[in-house]
Amino acid sequence: MTDKGQKTLDQAYEGLEKEAPDRVARAIRWLRDPKARWIRIPLGVLFIIASMLWFLPVVGIEMLPLGLLLIAQDVPFLRKPVGRFMIWLERKWVALRHRWQRG
């Protein structure tokens, strides 16, 4: 089950990297490196806490999925549900972006 969860999480990361600007995609790839664990976990917790301050103009609820995604890299039981949620979220984002472009 862990292997399938990791595959789902990898697929979510790939979709995010594809949709993100190049500079952000490079940062995501760097954060996925096993050596970046000591940065990834506190950053994920910080993003989750920041999402609770959704009413402020700089941070918002969009920080929650990013924080969960970062933490799921190191917490096996979160990999599959977070990966599936991120894949779903990316599909919705792509559909919304296409709808805006068609105008």
CA torsion 44-45-50-51 (nearest 10°) is 70
Q: Position of tokens 């940065």? A: 39
pLDDT of residue 2: 55
The band of 80, judged by pLDDT with boundaries at 50, 70 and 90, is very high
**Tens-digit pLDDT profile for residues 14-72:** 988 988 899 989 999 999 999 999 999 999 999 999 898 877 777 788 888 889 999 99
3-class DSSP assignment, residue 11:
helix
pTM confidence score: 0.80
**What would the two tokens of residue 99 be?**
């709808």
Q: Report the C-alpha gap between 21 and 93 in whole angstroms.
A: 15
pLDDT at 22: 94
For residues 66 and 31, is the Cβ–Cβ distance under 8 A? no
Q: Where does the pLDDT of residue 75 fall: very low under 50, low under 70, confident under 90, or very high at 90 and above? A: very high
